[in-house]
Amino acid sequence: MPTVEKILTFSQAHKSIIQKYFHGGYYYSNTPKLIQEIKKHELNALFLLSIETPTELCRFLKTSFFELEEQINDPIYKHYAIKKKRGGNRQIYSPENKLKAIQRRLNYFLQAYYLWIKPNEVFGFVVNPHYLGNYCNIAENAKPHIGKKHLLNIDLKDFFPSISASRVKSVFTSSYFNFSEQIATALTLLTTYEGHIPIGAPTSPVISNFVCFQLDADLKSFCDTNGLRFTRYADDLTFSSDTLISFDVVLDIINLIRKNGFAINEKKLRLKSSNRKQTVTGLIVNEKVNVDRKLLKKIRAMLHDLTTNGIDIATKGHFNLNGEIEPKHRAKFIQRLEGYINFVGQVRGKSDELYFKQKTLFDSLFESKNKE
């Protein structure tokens, strides 16, 4: 993998070629061989990094200068709250359609660049191009910790709200992007709201990964020195070792996290030995990566209710509904059950006997109905 410096140098050296022949995912027929030999996500990254002027930024985002100025100066977000599983509310700020379209396009290119330079220890908020394989997910995040004698889980507190606009701008002006003050300011204003990255903006996940570059590097260095394995999935940090993870080591890790501008959720800090159930992002890792028995039991109950009593009774029971069942309720039940089964297949593998049994039964029940 080339260094960030080499990537930036290449982008500027071949800027005219990149901007002329490559526009967000496809080649022109007469594209020079120099460009054709680079992977698609790498070219997307080079296209992003070639931006130097406001005119180029507008062309890149496929919008006019006046439209871009309006979105920067007067962004519109819809605010609402959703309940968390363990109590409390999560504040969502969803951008209106024009701003969301701009953020989605920007996210596409930011994701491409992050994929090119990301640390091996990061598995969350990362795209998986088909030509690279599906290697960034919670199952892959859990695999490095299989069968370890000691496991430490740490959750970052208020992850998105804790990332300020000034930190975002610092990323855009850093050596990772080397954007001018003007471009960095514009991108920061397009991706932050009320002083931080909002939960609900398409760009917030990938920007959080860029902000965490130094944190990831510091934790990786510390773990290499102290014989620990480390992975991060969004705000979920996991450390494991075959030797005891001492209280002093835990304090050192927490101090590194604080040094990098984050706080920990003390209620979710867990240190478990191998004689207890060890989980990483909800997956069991004591002997192999596996889904929790509670989910398998839920799937079994849903399938049994479905085959025994039919879709209406199964839907009523699952959602605790009274009265007449609407089509949207049935559809939601089917989608949820299929999602659960597909998740088992992702974690345990498509050749797993239990997954194959669940999938075969589900398909026999709904394949003909879906075709209709």
Structure tokens at 278: 């060890």
Q: Per-residue pLDDT tens, the chain, 372 aa: give them.
A: 678 988 888 888 778 777 766 554 455 555 666 666 788 888 889 999 999 999 999 999 999 999 999 999 999 999 999 988 777 889 999 999 999 999 999 999 999 999 999 999 999 999 988 888 767 899 999 999 999 999 999 999 999 999 999 999 999 999 999 999 999 999 999 999 999 999 999 999 999 999 999 999 999 999 999 999 999 999 999 999 999 999 999 999 999 999 999 999 999 999 999 999 999 999 999 999 999 999 999 999 999 999 999 999 999 999 999 888 899 999 999 999 999 999 999 999 899 999 999 999 999 987 644 444
Which residues lie across from 95 on neighbouring strands?
Answer: 77
> How do residues 234-282 score in pLDDT, each as one tens digit?
999 999 999 999 999 999 999 999 999 999 999 999 999 999 999 999 9
Q: How many Å apart are CA 118 and CA 132, to the nearest integer?
A: 14
**Residues 278 and 146 sit within 8 Å (Cβ to Cβ):** no
DSSP structural state of residue 238: E
pTM recorded for the entire structure:
0.90
- The three-class DSSP label of residue 346 is helix
Q: What is the dihedral of CA 299, 137, 105, 213, to 10 degrees?
A: 140
Structure tokens at 233: 């999935």
According to DSSP, the β-strands at 279-280 and 283-284 are antiparallel
Is the alpha carbon torsion for 245, 248, 254, 260 positive or negative?
Answer: negative
